[in-house]
Each structure stands twice: as C-alpha cells, then as structure tokens.
C-alpha cells in the first residue's frame, strides 16, 4: 500500500509543480488569478501529503498519539480547503462561495478543538487510528462542500455558451467520481489524483475561454479605436482642407489626398492586426495623422520627434490615439490654439519607453470631462497594452501645464 500510495503522491506533486510553472510563465493571467491558482495547488499538495503521512504513520507504536491525531487533523482541514479552492477558481462571489468560506472556517475550528480529546480520530493501543465520535459531523461537512461545488459548477456553467459547458461539467464529474471512489469501499486512493487532474483541466478551461473572451474584447476595442479616429468632423475638416488646396495648390492637394488615403487604409488594416506590429509602422500612421492636421492648422501645430529606439513591436492604434488626444484636448484648447506635440522613444534595460508630451491646456487625470472622450481613448489603449503585451500607460497632467503620457513596453514581449 505504501509503495502504491507513494507513486500516487509523486504523480500529484509532479503534475502540480508543472501547473505552477505554467501559471507563472503565462503573462496573460492576471496576478490576482495567479494567486488563486497557486493557493489551490498548494492546498491540494498539502492535503495529499497529510493523507500520505497518515497512511505511513498508522500503527507506528513508537510514535506519540498526538502526532497521528495532528496529521489526520491536517488531512481533515486541508482536504475540504482544497475542494473550496477548486471552487474559488470559478470566481463567483455569490452566496454559495460565502457559505463555503463559513463552512471551511467552522470545520477548521471543529478539527482543532477535537485533537486533544481524540473526538475526530480515535487511537487504539497499537496506534492504529479509526473514526472518532465526531467523525459523522465531518462527513456532513464534507457532503455539504460537495453539494456546494455541484451548485457552483452549475451556476458557473451558465456564464458560458451551451456548447462550452460540457468541458466544465466533465471536469467536475471527474473530481467527484475520484472522491467517491476513495470514500466507497474498497476505498481506492484516487481523491487527490482526481483533484490534481481536475485542477489541470480547470487551468486549461480557464486559459482557453478567458483567452477567447480577451480576444473578443480586443476585437471590439479595435473597432472602437478605429471609429474614434474617423469621426465625421475629422473627415469633413480634412476634406475641407484638401478642397481649399485644390484651388491654390493642386500639387499639395494631390499629396494631401494621398496621405489621407494612406491614413484611412491604416485604420482599416488595424482591424485585421491580431497582436503586435513594428513600432515604425505605428509611428508612420501617427505621422500621417499629424501631417493632415498640420494642413488644417498650419504653423499653429508644431511637432517634434526624438526617436532613439526603433526595433520593437507595439499593439496597433496605441500611439496615434494618444497623439490625437494631445492635439484635440491639449493644443487646440489653448487660448490661441497653438502648441507643440513631442513624440519620443527610448530603450531602457527592461523596457521600451514611449513618451507623448504637449504644452496644451492640460487636464485632471482623475476627473471625468464633459464629453468623456480623452478618458475613454486612454482607457482603451491602457487595457489593450496590458492584455496584449503587459505594457503600462501613465499620465502626468494638470490644468494649465500640459500633459505627459508615458508608455512602457516590457522588452521580453515587445521584440
């Protein structure tokens, strides 16, 4: 039995270690979700070890009884916690989850109180353990936890499309079957194997469908960003500027029309971009926008470039919306409508840094403007940076002193 169960324990631990590495290396998983997964794997590993130690220590006459009781107490505390942690991965903060939390707290208190008197685990003269008088209470708690897991799984499944629920329900059926096989005579040691593989399949389920949801959200944001760059007023104003050029400078009008066409094509192409594009491509698109605005505003809009880093990648429509905010909500809101936009890039030991600076009217980053547009555009860019490449966006601005927007792109995900 010991050799067989040693193999079971090692199998569980190897699988849990592999899962921990996969979670650690997956930069798309939010830190809070990673913590939940780490805790789940630690509890399953600890519960499996506690039961293994109980099997090994059973009948060892030279050992003190309190040690055997303490080991079984750890088993009876950690096993329900492992089940609760699996349920926590469903991320439903509802009544079932709150009930589970309270049950786990109550069970822990009962187990600790029962250790000195042997109420949960009885030890005979040969140091063999058996169920104590309070053990039926533990069975009731255990069954309540299983019932909550079933209810929670059903509710969690409702958050997915019908065709995607089967994998989730199969996972829970696997876990429950493994637990039942251990509790029903002859009692095969399968509970922790089932929990381990259930955790692995939950990880696969989580990454698959969270990635699908993330991709759908990014696609929607790409559409919103594209539309935000082609508002009717921008189209009308640009076409009006080109029309005026047609009479006084036909060659300049022809060049402006070509730039406008390339700008529109760039926005359309952004809808098909799945991930990162070369920074040079995004910079060229931004330059087209600024050149079109300079046709309209002339010398009132000045542009400066300090490009010290080129060879990296960036999500499409990242730089251009920030620059547009600098022109529309910064420079053009100065009393005289004049100002300078500066674009800089640099390489640091761990990041590529982009900076967009303007000497416009500035704003309070914490306040919501009347039209809400600056914050919506910035929020969309910030979310896409985080999801696609782990980048960050920060703002330094105040009314009357312009704005500085800084984008940091981790090197390991931008080359």
Give me the pLDDT at residue 395, please. 92
Give me the pLDDT at residue 271, please. 59
* CATH architecture of the region 2-214: Up-down Bundle (1.20)
Give me the pLDDT at residue 240, please. 85
In the chain, which residues fall in CATH 1.20.1070.10? 2-214
User: Residue 356's closest CA among 299, 283, 292, 285?
Assistant: 283
Give me the pLDDT at residue 348, please. 93
Tokens of 236: 């009308």
Q: Is the pTM of this model over 0.75?
A: no
Regions in the chain scoring below 70 on pLDDT = 1-2, 160-164, 185-188, 208-233, 267, 270-274, 367-376
Cis peptide bond prior to 186, omega within 30° of 0: yes
Residues 79/51, Cβ–Cβ less than 8 Å: yes
Give me the pLDDT at residue 109, please. 95
DSSP 312-370: -EE-SSSHHHHHHHHHHTTGGGSTTS-EEEEEEEEE-SSEEEEEEEE-S----TTS--S
Tokens of 247: 């009479």
Give me the pLDDT at residue 373, please. 53
Give me the pLDDT at residue 118, please. 87
Give me the pLDDT at residue 85, please. 86
* Residues found in the chain: 415
Measured distance CA(352)–CA(393) in Å, rounded: 12
Domain covering 230-413 in this structure, CATH number: 3.30.565.10
Segment (H or E) for 2: helix 2-25
Residues 115/70, Cβ–Cβ less than 8 Å: yes
Mapped onto helix, strand or coil, the DSSP state of residue 193 is helix
Using CA atoms, how far residue 408 sits from 66, 322, 386, 390, in Å, is: 56, 14, 10, 9
User: Residue 360's closest CA among 398, 399, 318, 402?
Assistant: 402
pLDDT in tens, 201-234: 778 777 766 666 566 565 565 555 555 555 566 7
In the chain, which residues fall in CATH 3.30.565.10? 230-413
């Amino acid at each position: 039995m010991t050799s067989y169960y040693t193999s079971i324990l090692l199998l569980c631990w190897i699988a849990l270690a592999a899962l921990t590495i996969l979670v650690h290396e997956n930069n798309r998983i939010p830190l809070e979700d990673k913590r939940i997964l780490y805790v789940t794997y630690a509890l399953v590993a600890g519960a499996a070890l506690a039961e293994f130690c109980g099997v090994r220590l059973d009948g060892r006459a030279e050992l003190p009884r309190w040690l055997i009781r303490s080991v079984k107490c750890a088993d009876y505390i950690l096993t329900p916690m492992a089940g609760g942690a699996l349920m926590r991965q469903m991320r439903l903060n509802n009544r079932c989850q709150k009930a589970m939390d309270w049950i786990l707290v109550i069970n822990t208190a009962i187990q600790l109180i029962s250790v000195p008197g042997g109420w949960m685990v009885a030890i005979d003269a040969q140091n063999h353990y058996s169920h104590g008088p309070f053990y039926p209470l533990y069975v009731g708690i255990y069954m309540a936890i299983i019932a909550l897991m079933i209810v929670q799984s059903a509710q969690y499944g409702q958050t997915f499309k019908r065709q995607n629920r089967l994998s989730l329900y199969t996972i829970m059926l696997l876990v429950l079957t493994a637990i039942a096989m251990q509790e029903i005579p002859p009692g095969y040691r399968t509970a922790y194997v089932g929990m381990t593989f259930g955790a692995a399949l939950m990880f696969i389920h989580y990454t698959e469908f969270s990635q699908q949801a993330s991709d759908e959200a990014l696609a929607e944001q790409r559409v919103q960003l594209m539309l935000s760059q082609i508002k009717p007023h921008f189209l009308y104003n640009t076409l009006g500027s080109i029309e005026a050029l047609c009479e006084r400078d036909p060659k300049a009008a022809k060049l402006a029309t070509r730039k406008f066409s390339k700008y529109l094509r760039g926005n359309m192409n952004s809808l098909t971009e799945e991930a990162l594009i070369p920074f040079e491509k995004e910079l060229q698109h931004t330059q087209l926008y600024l050149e079109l605005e300079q046709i309209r505003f002339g010398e009132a809009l000045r542009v400066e470039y300090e490009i010290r880093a080129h060879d990296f990648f960036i999500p499409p429509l990242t730089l251009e919306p920030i620059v547009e905010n600098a022109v529309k909500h910064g420079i053009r809101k100065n009393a005289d409508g004049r100002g300078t936009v500066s674009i800089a890039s640099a390489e640091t030991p761990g990041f590529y840094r982009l900076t967009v600076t303007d000497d416009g009217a500035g704003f309070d980053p914490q306040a919501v403007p009347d039209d809400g547009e600056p914050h919506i555009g910035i929020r969309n860019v910030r979310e896409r940076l985080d999801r696609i490449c782990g980048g960050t966006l920060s703002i330094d601005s105040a009314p009357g002193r312009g704005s500085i927007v800084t984008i940091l792109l981790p090197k390991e995900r931008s080359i």
